[in-house]
Amino acid sequence: MKNLRVNEVIFIIMLLVIIIINGIDFIKDMNQGDELLHISLEILIVALSIWGIVILVSMACKRTDEIDALNQKVEKAEINLELSRSKLKEIGHVYSRYIHKQFEVWKLTPSEKEVALILLKGLSLKKLQKLEVPKKRLSDNRPPLFIANQMLQAEMNFLLGFLKICLFH
């Protein structure tokens, strides 16, 4: 009953009023010995009113069950989403550690690491050369082309290693 809408409650109250009025009239007509047709119509009105109330309440109960089922699905989806987020976060940390480990193997300077990260994010070498900040930060002994070549040579090994980490750990 808690999930009945205002209009449903008003309609139920109206039906209850009809039931009460017709019930009182039915008793009065029975005592007075009115016609059978008139008494039958009053019984029919009361029965239809009761049936209307039953239908409204059952619809409200069904709606409540549907809402509860949807809420459970939403909760389950939120739990799955949170698990996915935490798994992706964990994978991101593993990926980041793997990236930095590879940078250490290549013995990149901090500026070169920044450029390499930009390349990993998908910025092409041509776009990278247009950026002023990474150009200025690169050390003179290693041009951006060296980093790009190192990145391209190791890209497949890097991605395969990442996939191995993700799939087997």
pLDDT in tens, 87-99: 989 988 888 888 8
What pLDDT, on a 0 to 100 scale, did the predictor assign at position 79?
Answer: 95
pLDDT for residue 1:
55
Q: Residue 101 has what pLDDT?
A: 84
Between 167 and 132, residue with greater pLDDT: 167
What is the Cα–Cα distance from 129 to 118, expressed in whole angstroms? 11
* 150 part of a folded domain: yes
Type of residue found at 111:
S
114 and 63 share a domain? no
Q: Is residue 119 a contact partner of residue 147, using CB atoms and an 8 Å limit?
A: yes
Can you tell me which residue has the tokens 């009053």? 42
- Model pTM above 0.75: no
User: pLDDT of 45-70, one tens digit each?
Assistant: 999 999 999 998 999 889 989 999 99
Structure tokens at 27: 């008793």
Tell me if 86 is assigned to some domain.
no
- pLDDT the model gives residue 148: 59
The last residue of one of the domains, among 35, 65, 81, is 81
Q: Are residues 76 and 114 in the same domain?
A: no
Full residue range of the structural domain in which residue 50 is found: 1-81
pLDDT tens digits, 64-80: 899 999 999 999 999 99
How do residues 145-164 score in pLDDT, each as one tens digit? 555 555 555 565 666 665 66
